Structure formats: structure tokens, C-alpha cells
Amino acid sequence: MAHNPVNHPLRPLYRTLGFLAGAYLVVFGIIGLIQNAGETFTGSNDARILGQGSSTLWSILAIVLGAIIVIATVVGRNIDVATNKYLGWAIIVVGCYELAFSRTDANIFGFTIGTVIVTFIAGLVLITSSLYGKVVPAEQAGAPRQVREGRTA
């Protein structure tokens, strides 16, 4: 991780994107729980939430993951960086699983291909926000790249 920037000038933008990805998961999960009331806990059904397929299990998991991301972003102090990195990769893994098993009985989260795409995008947004969101004190940040490379004006 030595090449990841610290104190990036666009850190507020990346924190906001991470927050929005978490908030989307929470909203998606809540709407999914409402839509899937009375349906089976796992597996696909015909309910579409924001144009995507889902099950009660994925709705609950989305609420939990989204709430963790939102809380970590509000707390800050580089907790959001670690949370976004690990949960982003976890969401990517879930998306890969569901992509592999989307048209089988092993589709426990009730994903459609649209859900897989949105899951990948959310995971990538979280990973990207973790790459540029780290903050350290100025004395630990080191010289900016231009100074290190001798390109000062």
C-alpha cells in the first residue's frame, strides 16, 4: 500500500461516494424486505427491487453491509478506509458467486444479471474510495510527488 496516496485532495468526494454506496445498499435492502414480505427466505422470486432481483436473505445482508459502511463513513478516522476496502472486496466476491450460479438452484440471493452488475459497481466504488481516502498527519505524509521528483516550480 506504499503507493496509495494519503491526504488526497479529493478525499471528501471519495468519502461521499462510499457513503452513497452504503446508503444505496440500505435503501435497496429496506425496499427488498418490504417487497419480499411473505416470500421464501432464499432463492429467486419474481419481485423486482429498483429493477433488480433479490431475496429476503440478500435484503437483510444488504441492510447490514450498508449500515456498517454508512456508520464507518460517519465515524471516519481511517475506519472508513479499512471498512470500504474489505467490504468492497466481499461484495465483489458475492457478485462473482451469484454470476456463476445465477441460473441454478444455488442462486440463494435471488440475483439477476442486473443485480450482479450493480453489486460489482458498488464493490468497485467502495474499493476506489478506500484507495484514496486515507488521512495521516502532515509530518507523516511525506513530500508531495512533485517535490520528490525534483519538479518544483
Look at residue 143 in the predicted model and tell me its pLDDT: 62
More confident residue, 1 or 51: 51
Residue 151 domain flag: no
* pLDDT of 111 over the 60 cut: yes
Mean pLDDT of 23-46: 85
139 occurs within a structural domain: no
More confident site: 23 or 144: 23
Q: Quote the domain boundaries for residue 103.
A: 17-131
- Please report the pLDDT score of residue 77 as a whole number: 85
Residue 43 lies in a domain: yes
Residue 2 falls inside a structural domain: no
Write down the pLDDT at residue 68: 97
Task: Give per-residue pLDDT as tens, 59-99.
Answer: 999 999 999 999 999 998 889 999 999 999 999 999 999 99
Give yes or no for residue 1 having a pLDDT over 50.
no
pLDDT, position 151:
65
- Look at residue 81 in the predicted model and tell me its pLDDT: 92
Work out the pLDDT band at 29, boundaries 50, 70, 90: very high
102 is a domain residue: yes
As a whole-number percent, the residues of the chain with pLDDT over 70 amount to 86
Residue 150 has pLDDT above 80, yes or no: no
Number of domains, the chain: 1
Question: What would the 3-class secondary structure string for the chain be?
Answer: CCCCCCCCCCHHHHHHHHHHHHHHHHHHHHHHHHHCCCCCCCCCCCCEECCEECCHHHHHHHHHHHHHHHHHHHHCCCHHHHHHHHHHHHHHHHHHHHHHCCCCCCCCCCCCHHHHHHHHHHHHHHHHHHHCCCCCCHHHHCCCHHHHCCCCC
Q: Report if residue 6 sits inside a domain.
A: no
**Which of these ranges, 1-10, 21-30, 59-68, has the smallest mean pLDDT?**
1-10
Q: Per mean pLDDT, which of 5-9, 121-125, 140-144 is the most reliable?
A: 121-125
Task: Tell whether 1 is covered by a domain.
Answer: no
Residue 147 counted as domain residue: no
